[in-house]
Chain A
Amino acid sequence: MALLEVRDLSVRFVRKSEPTVSAVDGVSFDVHPGSTVGLVGESGCGKSVTSLAIMGLLPGRGTEVTGSVNLEGSELLRLSRREFDRRRGKDLGMVFQDPLTSLNPVVPIGLQISEVIERHRGLSRRDASREAAKLLERVGIPDPDRRLKEYSHQLSGGMRQRALIAMALACEPRLLIADEPTTALDVTIQAQILTLLKELVAETGTALIMITHDLGVVAGMCDEVNVLYAGRIVERAQRHELFSQPRHPYTAGLMASVPRLDSPRGQRLAPIEGSVADNIPWEGGCAFSPRCGNALAVCRERAPELETVEQGRLLRCHNPIGAAEMERAHD
């Protein structure tokens, strides 16, 4: 039984005198306890909006959220604001990309963490503060008692991200969403934070949704990976299968366009031509077809459906990579 079931989630931004923008378009996935699910894609693919929709953090006005987000049997999308406030922070935690803007600059770190504990676990301020110190120590911040009294600007970037993780973990949520948690950090600090997240998942059994554009992070962290393009999942597979044999041309294109540390110098990169279009043009065919080297005539007429092609792999493509090879062999 899945911890979180997202079914046919769509988010549309409706604006007066402007066309409606569909940011997320029918996304479905499951998250099991203790597992890490990755949402991967470039800017504008809808990965962050998906996470905000799950957390109930999208603005009420001008957004239409449809579909279902089910956490352990309760439907999150139908919760009232107040009910959601009770769940958020307790059952669901979130770590954002930019720790400086996610922390309140005029409230000490300690108070920001103990506030969560006071509110959701009903501890006294004193006990909550003691608990906060324990959490800071848990996430690897040395001298936690001193740090509790400090403000976010007094901490380094890595330290802030640790504080943010401590806050998200304060009530031992069953689901943690990390939205580009290491993108703003240096590589050596990134390694520290990723190791920390991995340990937390292994020790506490928290489920983790990892949102990132960095395929290297995905390769090391996620059990199952969803690749998003223009608001839809285009490929889903277990990480070993996905990386050893990407089937969707977009997934393969992403992998070929990243310079790798262990590839010889002078090897030319194979970029994906063009760039992501602003509007989501799935109606008139596959949204990726203008950039796709594998595109057929049918790709520009009819949008492909997400189909199970093999055990554990879903694919949204008329002409996936394996198929083209078979055809070439046939010729």
Chain B
Amino acid sequence: MTDSSRTITGAETSPVGTDPADTLVEIDDLRVHFPIKRGIVLDRTVGHVYAVDGVSLRVGRGETYGLVGESGCGKSTLGKAVLRLERPTGGSIRFDGTDMARMSGEPLRRMRRRMQMVFQDTLSSLDPRQSVESLLVEGMRAHGLDRDGKSTERELRELLSSVGLPASALRKYPHEFSGGQRQRIGIARALAVRPDLVVADEPVSALDVSVQAQVLNLLEDLQEEFGLTYLVIAHDLAVVRHVARRIGVMYLGGLVEESDSDVLYEQPLHPYTRALLSAVPVPEPEVEDQRERILLSGDLPSPAAPPTGCRFHTRCPWRQPTRCDSERPELRDVGGGHRVACHYAEEIRDGIITPNSVEGNSSAGVS
């Protein structure tokens, strides 16, 4: 990697975000709110679930962007909104310069060829009554890529071999494969329409550990082969750190920190990121014995009634008496493209503010 950056000078290896032509996806102040309805005759809206609430980020062409967060943080909704599988309540999603948020009908359908999804659950995301061939051809046919039988056949064989499956798989059905092989079929299906962007929502979390590595390596190889851009959504920080160049950390509908993956690991600035990193078990007893966990009290508050001010202040060990509970922090650049949404990020980093002792009851009673 270091070699190539030395020999090739220019846009290809420059940090993303500097050149607008290099941006494939640009999300600005995206909001996805789901109404909570009550009543049978009178369909009243009694509130909203603020699944995604003001997220801005950009994904560079050919880059892998990792989105991490715990369940209920809105990361999957964000992924779906990027593909327009979820209609945004507000904000914009620009895909290769075109605003997708207000697109509909035929132009949207045609646009979708360029963006595909890989799902978590391989068994429920593949139709059990369709053969692998029919699964793969379906998308190609819908987008007019299936012109004549011979070339399609050849293309399918090539596709299967690039995801590491034998050509004989074409005649088989999803249940005849193991979980890892099924995920390969899911990936092949996404690639069949030659997309630019692949959104992978928890692509390996349903797989066995030894098979996870196979699929992660495969995703890497395919990116190189086809020049793909990935948006990888996962709860497993280790997986995201392994595949992604940039990582965004989400908490309760908002991005709390975003940075280069190495920087994020070396120096996490947001208290939530710190807690998250300290909670991930590392398969090495020496590390496990020595490390200090930042234990968060309580659970995630309900996204239907997010806390005022900083959304994390109810669980934050570094909570301060002012600003935290009244003013929502903006995601701001603290240098080198490292963005963090915390009023006191610098003070925490420099050790001026130290964590308060965690009280069990003060915040855990959120229901």
Any chain A CB within 8 A of the CB of B213? yes
Q: If A187-B237, A258-B238, A275-B180 touch, does A243 touch B284 (CB 8 Å cutoff)?
A: yes
A139 to chain B, nearest CB (A): 11
Any chain A CB within 8 A of the CB of B131? no
B143 to chain A, nearest CB (A): 32
- Flag if A42 contacts B293 (CB, 8 Å): no
Any chain A CB within 8 A of the CB of B85? no
- Flag if A142 contacts B361 (CB, 8 Å): yes
Q: Which residues of A contact B70 (CB under 8 A)?
A: 186-189
Q: If A191-B293, A192-B295, A243-B283 touch, does A260 touch B212 (CB 8 Å cutoff)?
A: no
Any chain A CB within 8 A of the CB of B278? yes
Interface residues of B in 1-37 (CB under 8 A from A): 1
Q: Which residues of A contact B287 (CB under 8 A)?
A: 219, 262
Any chain B CB within 8 A of the CB of A253? yes
Q: Which residues of A contact B296 (CB under 8 A)?
A: 188, 192
Any chain A CB within 8 A of the CB of B83? no
A252 to chain B, nearest CB (A): 11
Any chain A CB within 8 A of the CB of B265? yes
Q: If A158-B299, A192-B295 touch, does A260 touch B283 (CB 8 Å cutoff)?
A: yes
Any chain B CB within 8 A of the CB of A295? no
- Flag if A255 contacts B283 (CB, 8 Å): yes
Any chain A CB within 8 A of the CB of B282? yes
Q: If A192-B295, A269-B217, A275-B178 touch, does A261 touch B238 (CB 8 Å cutoff)?
A: yes
CA distance A152 to B283 in the complex (A): 33
- Flag if A216 contacts B261 (CB, 8 Å): no
CA distance A272 to B217 in the complex (A): 12
B15 to chain A, nearest CB (A): 15
Interface residues of A in 165-218 (CB under 8 A from B): 186-192, 194-195, 213-218
Any chain B CB within 8 A of the CB of A239? yes
Q: Which residues of A contact B285 (CB under 8 A)?
A: 219-220, 239-240, 243-244
Contact flags B226-267 to A (C-beta < 8 A → 1, else 0): 000000000111110110110000000000000001100100
CA distance A154 to B302 in the complex (A): 12
- Flag if B299 contacts A143 (CB, 8 Å): no
B120 to chain A, nearest CB (A): 14
Q: Which residues of B contact A194 (CB under 8 A)?
A: 281
Task: Give the segment of B55-63, B103-111, B203-211, B337-345 that binds chain A.
Answer: B203-211
Q: Which residues of A contact B180 (CB under 8 A)?
A: 275
In chain B, what residue has the closest Cβ to A143?
B365
Any chain A CB within 8 A of the CB of B216? yes
Size of B's binding interface in residues, CB under 8 A: 55
Any chain B CB within 8 A of the CB of A56? no
Any chain A CB within 8 A of the CB of B288? yes
Q: Which residues of A contact B181 (CB under 8 A)?
A: 275
Q: Which residues of B contact A186 (CB under 8 A)?
A: 70-71, 235, 300
Any chain A CB within 8 A of the CB of B142? no
- Flag if A43 contacts B282 (CB, 8 Å): no
Any chain A CB within 8 A of the CB of B367? yes
Q: How many A-B residue pairs have CB under 8 A?
A: 150
Size of A's binding interface in residues, CB under 8 A: 54
A220 to chain B, nearest CB (A): 4
- Flag if B282 contacts A257 (CB, 8 Å): no
- Flag if B242 contacts A265 (CB, 8 Å): yes
CA distance A142 to B300 in the complex (A): 15
Q: Which residues of B contact A273 (CB under 8 A)?
A: 214
Q: If A189-B299, A220-B281 touch, does A276 touch B213 (CB 8 Å cutoff)?
A: no
- Flag if A264 contacts B293 (CB, 8 Å): no
Any chain B CB within 8 A of the CB of A156? yes
Which one, B217, B282, B365, contacts A262 given CB within 8 A?
B282
- Flag if B216 contacts A259 (CB, 8 Å): yes
Q: If A189-B299, A259-B239, A262-B265 touch, does A142 touch B360 (CB 8 Å cutoff)?
A: yes
- Flag if B282 contacts A254 (CB, 8 Å): no
Q: Which residues of B contact A59 (CB under 8 A)?
A: none
Q: Which residues of A contact B1 (CB under 8 A)?
A: 266
CA distance A157 to B298 in the complex (A): 11
Any chain A CB within 8 A of the CB of B277? yes
Q: Which residues of B contact A (CB under 8 A)?
A: 1, 70-71, 178-181, 208-214, 216-217, 220, 235-239, 241-242, 244-245, 261-262, 265, 275-289, 293, 295-296, 298-300, 360-361, 364-365, 367
Extra 17 A-B pairs, beta carbons < 8 Å, given A143-B365, A258-B213, A265-B261: A159-B299, A186-B70, A187-B237, A188-B70, A188-B275, A189-B299, A216-B280, A240-B285, A240-B286, A253-B210, A260-B282, A262-B265, A269-B217, A271-B211, A272-B213, A273-B214, A275-B210
23 residue pairs A–B, Cβ–Cβ below 8 Å: A140-B360, A142-B364, A143-B365, A187-B236, A187-B280, A188-B70, A194-B281, A195-B293, A218-B283, A219-B283, A240-B286, A244-B285, A257-B210, A259-B241, A261-B237, A261-B238, A262-B282, A269-B216, A271-B214, A271-B217, A273-B214, A275-B178, A275-B210
Q: Which residues of A contact B (CB under 8 A)?
A: 42-43, 140, 142-143, 154, 156-159, 186-192, 194-195, 213-220, 239-240, 243-244, 253-273, 275-276
